[in-house]
A and B are shown apart, each in its own frame.
Chain A
């Protein structure tokens, strides 16, 4: 089974996750031990250099996370991650956590931590990057996940709702995540998760036919696709044309084995990116999910980018 909090958090959290991370220097420089990063092919903007600095600057004046109780000689604390809605738990082992929307309940048996900040007890759930591609991408140092509080997310390939629950934690009660899953077994668990969290809307339909569930879904800001199908670019494209707003973003997790098990992983990723570009889905970032998954990559991009206005 995937690692528990002890195994994955033993590896240190990369520098890019911290608030005070130095801005990335140039494209060629190595970004820590999580290799395999390449930028999109001349398309899209280089958000890296600008963003981190400004974010670090913005947050520098905020309170430095919450100090928890002292465990023996060690202070346990939770500090916000560079991505909004995601946090880092610093204790005996470091872990990636999200704020639990339903305190007191574990969705898939994950470890929960309670920290007192400013007199209020907050409960966080640990996020396992071996089970969740999104967590692996965040720990891998993806630049932007675009899933923030109050955003509307379309999640294709929701399975039993383990990652969907974390997305639901991030977007908070004002956001909405439409979880699409075709399998009935997993769908049962998904519906159970959705019963507790009102910002998850379960859709038990085939993602290949977005017209079949078009009456349930409004326009979304982000599409996250983890479907593991050979025609997944077509699936994402169909859904984007129907539901994704102009200037909306997409995150696709590509499993090289699934698309073409004979070709090499890099070739598969390149061909998938090309297919996406043909459908007006412009990729901006791509990174592999080593060491959590083998031959997996996550592509982040924008759909029908809004024309750049004068000020930035």
Chain B
């Protein structure tokens, strides 16, 4: 009589049987009844939930024995004093080492394992096949996640959903506020013209309600002094109609809704910022949270975004303009969603195109680092951004530097170069400067005083 250790998604199964020849074995396992004659379930240790099963199997994969298995083996097998048959020779070795049980492993054992596996459902009483299938699926997914080192806070679906919700909220909020203004404007139209900020309008409305209460109401926390006085004055001489209690009640409900949604929107924005920093720190540093989130949402996922070329990321969001220009053979757009990044926003319109191209190139590196990299630090993003900012400054200064900067550059090199090289350099510079001056003569119709200044300045430098 041998005891078989069979690992199942549900638990450890120990079967008991007599060893026989190999050939006829598979016949015995054709039906559950026959199988039950050959092997008998000795003990079935069930896993409580998927987490326990996962722990047991990961321990097994590393070649260690789980505590639970140790307990089971000690209890059952040691009592029975019979050899234990296992499917995996290595596991048998480990069990022998740790628990001092003799294990056997042979082709016969394998045959029997096959038989047991094929009749698994029948051999364990009281377990439904659907439960087994569900457990199997759950366990397989948990094991795969364990293998992939899945971390729940690196899921970029949150970002995509959050940014879409943000846009939806903005639209809804706008609609509600317009409706609120129009509705209340029927009763007190001047308030809308005095208070331009939507949130203050709603808060004010919520506090006061009917026009009659304005005189006694305290609006000092919401509005500055003059505006409050204005509002109170306007309330006296307003040309709006009278409204009943019920109507005011409804308008107040709407106001409360608007204020709640506004608060939720700010909360959502903070959440989005946190998630972006956690999931894609380098992208956040390069282009900012909103633009980064929009890029990810546009591409569908961070991985999809990482597959795009830099030129694609540059015009992501301007597809309509792009294809229209391609079809009619005109100039394609220079920027898409990237236009709203702070780096592009703070340059002069002349250089926006250049900066957008440079920013797209470095951003794509940051995206790929975030999508495929192991660590989540933003050092690379910070470095690249510093580089870009330096380049931006050079670009902005280019008009001035070329003329006044050469003096400095020349001065430095004079120390280290051979005289012959210096003379050549000076000759070359002279040629260049005269060329520049000629250009300026053509482009700008400068008055001669300016030109004289430039010429003298360069002559001094030489």
Contact = CB atoms under 8 A, between A and B. Distances in A.
Interface of A: 176, 184, 187-188, 191, 194-195, 198, 201-205, 211-212, 214-216, 218-219, 241-243, 245-246, 304
A204 B8 contact: no
A185 to B, nearest CB: 9
Contacts of B148: 184, 187-188, 191, 204
Contacts of B88: 211, 214
B94 interface: no
Contacts of A194: 140-141
A150 to B, nearest CB: 13
Nearest to A181: B144
B438 to A, nearest CB: 55
A204 B61 CA distance: 12
Complex A-B, nearest 3 residue pairs according to Cβ-Cβ distance, in ascending order: A215-B7, A219-B118, A204-B147
Interface in B99-124: 110, 113-114, 117-118, 120
Interface stretch (B131-139, B191-199, B258-266, B355-363): B131-139
A215 B57 CA distance: 8
Given A187-B147, A211-B87, A246-B26, A216 B140 contact: yes
Contacts of B314: none
A201 B145 CA distance: 13
Contacts of B8: 215
Contacts of A191: 141, 144-145, 148
Contact of A214 (B7, B118, B143): B7
B26 to A, nearest CB: 5
Contact of A241 (B110, B136, B144, B145): B110
Contact of B136 (A184, A187, A204, A216): A216
Nearest to A306: B26
Interface string B37-67: 0000000000000000000010011000000
Nearest to B56: A215
Interface string B135-178: 01101110111011000000000000000000000000000000
Given A194-B141, A202-B141, A203-B140, A218 B117 contact: yes
A211 B86 CA distance: 11
B9 interface: yes
Given A195-B141, A204-B144, 15 more contacts: A187-B144, A194-B140, A194-B141, A198-B137, A201-B136, A202-B141, A203-B143, A215-B7, A215-B8, A215-B60, A216-B9, A216-B136, A218-B117, A242-B110, A304-B26
Nearest to A215: B7
Contact of B137 (A188, A201, A218): A201
B114 A219 contact: yes
B141 A204 contact: no
Given A184-B147, A188-B148, A191-B141, A176 B9 contact: no
A216 B120 CA distance: 12
Contacts of B136: 201, 216, 218
22 contacts: A176-B133, A187-B144, A194-B141, A198-B137, A202-B140, A202-B141, A202-B144, A203-B140, A203-B144, A204-B143, A204-B147, A204-B148, A211-B87, A212-B61, A215-B8, A216-B143, A219-B117, A241-B110, A241-B114, A242-B87, A245-B118, A304-B26
Contacts of A211: 87-88
Contacts of A187: 144, 147-148
Interface centre among A194, A198, A201 (most CB of B within 10 A): A201
A211 B88 CA distance: 7
A219 B143 CA distance: 20
A188 B148 CA distance: 7
Nearest to B116: A219
Contacts of A304: 26
A282 B433 CA distance: 87
A200 B218 CA distance: 66
Contacts of A216: 9, 136, 139-140, 143
A198 B135 CA distance: 12
Nearest to A211: B88
Contacts of A212: 61
A188 B145 CA distance: 9
Nearest to B53: A215
A230 to B, nearest CB: 24
A205 B113 CA distance: 21
Nearest to A188: B148
B59 to A, nearest CB: 12
A197 to B, nearest CB: 11
A201 B132 CA distance: 13
B61 A201 contact: no
Contacts of B145: 191
A62 to B, nearest CB: 31
B91 to A, nearest CB: 8
A211 B6 CA distance: 11
A198 B117 CA distance: 22
Contacts of B26: 246, 304
Contacts of A176: 133
A191 B146 CA distance: 12
A215 B6 CA distance: 8
Nearest to B29: A246
Interface in B1-25: 7-9
Contacts of B9: 215-216
Nearest to B120: A218
A188 B301 CA distance: 14
A204 B88 CA distance: 19
